[in-house]
Amino acid sequence: MNVLIVDDEPLARERLSRLVSELEGYTVLEPSATNGEEALALIDSLKPDIVLLDIRMPGLDGLQVAGRLCEREAPPAVVFCTAQDEFALEAFQVSTVGYLVKPVHSEDLLAALRKAERPNRVQLAALTRPAAESGNGPRSHISARTRKGIELIPLDQVVYFIADHKYVTLRHEAGEVLLDEPLKALEDEFGERFVRIHRNALVARDRIERLQRTPLGHFQLYLKGLNGDALIVSRRHVAGVRKMMQQL
């Protein structure tokens, strides 16, 4: 079985490479990948059977890479590697995606590699299921189907959600995507991190910059990351927004 290692830390890559090389029946592919973009390119060219994928990386993180692989016809099996076991348990306890906690030990690595099977599209798709289906609390990422495939947007990069007819626009640091999820469901799931400012809008609490009244008596909310653009706050929600801002 051919194994591709993806990790932005040189020492972690070297350790995994050594451990895999010591196991019979597994071959480490070279070069290894140091970020998500490199990982996707190498997966295309090297066609690994298994990918040992770090979660925390600059640029595309491990969950976003997994989301891209989800749309492929024959994706490699994915085993996530993380230094935070609590994060791993929270993210994967409802799926069958394998994970390893750093520092990785040889016996755990062997067990994870043996468990990994191909294809694993169902495993990867489990990462994008709404939390309501899993019963395990809010997601750490929001999934959206785009022209690129399945994109996973980290929740801490989301600026706002705005409902428009049957879809919801998610604005994040790098652009916008459309979601086929009700705004009310998003509010129920992420109410601790987002506040409703209008019947059709939720904004991230930690993105709020200032509330300003216009000469015509309307209220506008300015958010970090919108380059000066503002969202309208309905009169019904002004008092609640003000109260929430006083507590920030």
- What is the pLDDT averaged over residues 73-81? 81
Q: How confident is the model at residue 95 (pLDDT cuts 50, 70, 90)?
A: very low
The hierarchical CATH code for the domain 140-246 is 2.40.50.1020
Q: How confident is the model at residue 137 (pLDDT cuts 50, 70, 90)?
A: low
pLDDT(127) > 70: no
Strand 219-223 and strand 167-172: the pairing is unpaired
DSSP state of 234: P
pLDDT(115) > 50: yes
121 to each of 73, 129, 134, 226, 248, how far by Cα in Å?
Answer: 8, 13, 18, 36, 41
Please, what is the average pLDDT of the chain?
A: 83
Which residue, 38, 122, 33, is CA-closest to 72?
122
Q: Which residue has the tokens 């692989």?
A: 69
pLDDT(89) > 90: no
Q: How confident is the model at residue 119 (pLDDT cuts 50, 70, 90)?
A: very low
- What is the pLDDT averaged over residues 161-187? 90
- What is the pLDDT averaged over residues 115-140? 55
pLDDT(2) > 80: yes
- What is the pLDDT averaged over residues 165-191? 89
Name the more confident of 202 and 95: 202
- What is the pLDDT averaged over residues 33-62? 92
Q: Percentage of residues in the chain with pLDDT exceeding 90?
A: 49
pLDDT(48) > 80: yes
Which residues, in sequence order, are CB contacts of 183 under 8 Å at separation 6+? 161, 163, 168, 200, 202
Which residues, in sequence order, are CB contacts of 202 under 8 Å at separation 6+? 160, 161, 162, 183, 186, 187, 190, 194, 195, 196
CATH 3.40.50.2300 is right for the domain spanning 2-128: yes
Strand 77-82 and strand 98-101: the pairing is parallel
Enumerate the domain spans of the chain.
Answer: 2-128, 140-246
E strand or H helix that includes residue 156: none
Which residue, 148, 2, 1, 142, is CA-closest to 69?
148
pLDDT(222) > 90: yes
3-state class (DSSP) for residue 122? helix
pTM above 0.75, yes or no: no
Judge contact between 44 and 69, C-beta under 8 A.
no
Q: How confident is the model at residue 126 (pLDDT cuts 50, 70, 90)?
A: low
